[in-house]
Amino acid sequence: MYFSKKNCFSTILIALFILFAAPLKGNPGGFSDDELRNFANAVVQVISIQQQGQMQMIEHIEEHEMSVQRFNELYMQAQQMPLDDIDVEGDEMESFIEISEEIEKIQVDLESVLINTIQEEGLSVEKYESIMAEYQQNPELQQRIQQMME
């Protein structure tokens, strides 16, 4: 029987594909079960912490008698132009600046809590972000992590 180099090479490539595709299918993203369990636990806590942070931010906005919608409008304008050029009424700019400073403090504290939470689950922030990036793009990994969260 005659095998050309091309046929032999193709056969080897197919064999390698079969060997390496099977483990990838069983382990979407290439993460260990422990890493995925830790990620699943961290995500549940991260979502809760983020929701609490959002509630704190909303409370600070409303304490200054400003609606969240109006704050967001001013925030978007502040991203596009100097604060002095934004058209506001009365003490609205002063309130906006105070709220923005309070929100920045909440965000800094929140970031610290989130980092500690992720690390307490046995993951580095980099590993967490890596798994999250793969999770957002990989339906198999999404399904696997969802099962772990149940």
d(CA 26, CA 45): 27
User: Which of 21-30, 65-74, 113-122 is predicted with the least confidence, judged by mean pLDDT?
Assistant: 21-30
Q: Give the pLDDT confidence score for residue 21 in this predicted structure.
A: 43
Looking at residue 19, what is its pLDDT? 43
Torsion of CA 27, 120, 136, 19, to 10 degrees: -10
CA distance 51 to 49: 5
Query: Tell me, what amino acid is at 88?
Result: V
Read off the pLDDT of residues 33-91 as tens digits, 9 standing for 90 and up. 899 999 999 999 999 999 999 999 999 999 999 999 999 999 988 888 887 788 787 78
- Of residues 127 and 147, which shows the higher confidence score? 127
> Exposed, middle or buried, 61 (CB in 10 Å: 0-12/13-18/19+)?
buried
- Spatial contact of 57 and 103, defined as CB atoms under 8 Å apart: yes
Q: What are the tokens at 116?
A: 């500690």
